A and B are shown apart, each in its own frame.
Chain A
Amino acid sequence: MSMNVDEKFKFLEHTADIKFKAFGNSLKEVFENSALALFNIFYDKKVEEKKAYKIKVNGSDFENLLYNFLEEFLILFDSKNFLPCRIKSIKFNEKKFKITAVVLGDDISNYKANVHVKAITYNGMFVKKQKNNWVSQVLVDV
Chain B
Amino acid sequence: MYKEKLRKIEKNIYELPKEAGMHVPGRIFFSEKMIKEVEEDSLKQVRNVALLPGIIKYSIGLADMHVGYGFPIGGVAAFDLDKGVISPGGVGYDINCSVRLLRTNLTKQDILKKQKEVLDALDRKIPSGVGRGSKFQMTRSELNKILEGGAKYLVEKGYGVKEDYLHTEEEGQMKDANASKVSDTAIRRGIGQLGTLGAGNHFLEVLFVEEIFDLEIARAFGLKKDQAVIMIHCGSRGLGHQIASDYIKKMEKEYGFQNLPDRELINAPIKSSLGKDYYSAMCSAVNFAFANKQLITYWIREEMKNLFPKIKIDVVYDVCHNIAKFEEHFIDGKMQKICVHRKGATRSFGPGRIEVPEAYRKVGQPVLIPGTMGTASYVLVGTKKAEEMTFGSTVHGAGRVMSRSGALRKIRGEDTKKQLNQKGIEVKSGSWKSLGEESPEAYKDIEEVVKIVHELGISKKVARLRPLAVVKG
Contact = CB atoms under 8 A, between A and B. Distances in A.
Interface of A: 11, 13-18, 42, 60, 63-64, 67-68, 71, 74-75, 77-79, 81, 83, 108-109, 111-116, 118-123, 125, 139, 141-142
The range of chain B's interface size is 35 or more
A75 B198 CA distance: 15
**Interface pairs A-B: 4 shortest CB-CB:** A108-B131, A122-B263, A78-B238, A123-B69
Contacts of B253: 60
Given A18-B404, A60-B253, A75-B188, A119 B245 contact: yes
Interface string B276-304: 00000000000000000000000000000
Given A81-B133, A113-B130, A141 B93 contact: yes
Contacts of B473: 116
SS class, residues of chain A in contact with chain B = mixed
25 contacts: A14-B67, A15-B403, A16-B67, A16-B73, A16-B400, A17-B69, A78-B188, A78-B189, A78-B193, A78-B238, A79-B191, A108-B131, A113-B430, A114-B433, A114-B434, A115-B199, A116-B198, A116-B200, A118-B238, A119-B244, A121-B93, A122-B69, A122-B248, A122-B263, A123-B70
B32 to A, nearest CB: 21
B93 A14 contact: no
B47 interface: no
B53 interface: no
Contact of A13 (B133, B189, B264, B405): B405
Contacts of A16: 66-68, 73, 400, 403
Contact of A79 (B67, B130, B188, B264): B188
Given A15-B66, A79-B185, A120-B245, 12 more contacts: A16-B400, A18-B404, A67-B249, A75-B238, A75-B242, A78-B190, A79-B188, A111-B131, A112-B431, A113-B431, A122-B248, A125-B263
Contacts of A141: 69, 93-94, 241
Contacts of A74: 189, 238, 241
Given A60-B253, A75-B185, A15 B94 contact: no
Contacts of B189: 74-75, 78-79
Contacts of B328: none
A9 to B, nearest CB: 14
Contacts of B401: 15
A83 B68 CA distance: 27
Contacts of B130: 42, 108, 113-116
B15 interface: no
Contacts of B431: 112-114
A118 to B, nearest CB: 4
Given A78-B189, A115-B199, A123-B69, A15 B400 contact: yes
Contacts of A79: 185, 188-189, 191-192, 238
B39 interface: yes
A125 B266 CA distance: 14
Contacts of B441: none
Contacts of B242: 75
Contacts of B185: 75, 79
A121 B69 CA distance: 7
Contacts of A42: 130
Nearest to B42: A15
Contacts of B248: 122
A70 B400 CA distance: 26
B355 interface: no
A11 B405 contact: yes
Interface in B405-447: 405-406, 430-431, 433-434
A16 B93 CA distance: 13
A75 to B, nearest CB: 6
B402 interface: yes
Contacts of A119: 93, 241, 244-245
A13 B237 CA distance: 25
Contact of A116 (B70, B199, B252, B406): B199
A15 B38 CA distance: 12
B262 interface: yes
A106 to B, nearest CB: 11
Contacts of A68: 249
A108 B238 CA distance: 15
A109 B406 contact: no
A113 B434 CA distance: 10
B397 to A, nearest CB: 11
Nearest to A107: B131
B434 A122 contact: no
Contacts of B400: 15-16
Contacts of B198: 116
Contacts of B70: 123
Nearest to B442: A15
Nearest to A109: B131
